[in-house]
């Protein structure tokens, strides 16, 4: 099911997704934690610069994912963040954090530009929107490895209304 919506300045599309199995590395942080950006940057650096991406078995495609799940705390500000890839099945062993992105309805936003700036601006605008968020799992899907002219889909899990 696809349905285009426009609220405020960002357009999005409502999509229904199947469950997705992912594997990567994770950390716990929160929107109000002073070290939030450093925690996330450290994960991405480990993921690409320490061979984690290459070591993940059974990748479905070459796309990297930034996943936000296990929301807790005041205004859902604490969460687990993962840098991961979609995989065919859960890898054996404990080397990787596994996350099952639940099937369901998501608002899909597409942002383009310099990767850090585009993602930060996208999340800032999404945060100001009145979406019926489920706070189960949200994620970024990096469509390619570009950093200066990136295209990123941001999926926001929606609750049933």
pLDDT given for residue 31 in this prediction: 86
Query: How much is the pTM?
Result: 0.91
pLDDT at residue 93, as a whole number: 82
Q: How far apart are CA 24 and CA 131, in angstroms?
A: 28
Average pLDDT, the chain: 92
Please report, to the nearest 10 degrees, the dihedral formed by the alpha carbons of residues 63, 80, 130, 121 taken in order. -50
Q: Which residues contact 6 (CB under 8 A, 6 or more apart)?
A: 12
| Average pLDDT of the residues in 9-13 | 89
Contacts of 76 (CB under 8 A, 6+ apart): 135
pLDDT at residue 58 tops 90? yes
For residues 87 and 101, give the distance between their C-alpha atoms in angstroms, rounded to a whole number: 11
The token pair at 107 is 């608002």
**Confidence label for 119 from pLDDT (cuts 50, 70 and 90):** very high
Q: How many helices (H) and strands (E) does the chain have?
A: 3, 9
User: With pLDDT > 70 as the criterion, what percentage of the chain qualifies?
Assistant: 93
pLDDT bracket for residue 92 (50, 70, 90): confident
Which pLDDT score is estimated for 9?
64
Rg (CA), the chain: 15
Q: What pLDDT is recorded for position 7?
A: 42
State how far the alpha carbon of 49 is from the alpha carbons of 35, 59, 114, in Å.
20, 18, 20
- 94 or 103, which is more confident: 103
DSSP helix/strand/coil, 115: helix
């Amino acid at each position: 099911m696809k349905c285009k919506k426009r609220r405020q300045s960002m357009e999005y599309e409502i999509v229904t997704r199947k469950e997705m199995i992912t594997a990567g590395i994770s950390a716990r942080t929160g929107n109000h934690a002073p070290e939030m950006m450093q925690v996330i940057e450290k994960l991405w650096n480990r993921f690409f610069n320490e061979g984690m991406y290459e070591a993940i078995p059974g990748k479905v495609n070459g796309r990297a994912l930034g996943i936000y799940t296990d929301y807790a705390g005041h205004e859902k500000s604490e969460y687990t963040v993962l840098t991961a890839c979609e995989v065919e099945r859960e890898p054996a062993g404990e080397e990787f954090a596994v996350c099952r992105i639940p099937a369901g309805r998501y608002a899909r936003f597409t942002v383009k530009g310099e990767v850090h700036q585009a993602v930060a601006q996208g999340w800032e605008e999404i945060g100001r929107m009145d979406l019926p968020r489920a706070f189960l799992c949200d994620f970024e899907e990096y469509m390619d490895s570009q950093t200066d002219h990136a295209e990123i889909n941001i999926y926001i899990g929606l609750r049933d209304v």
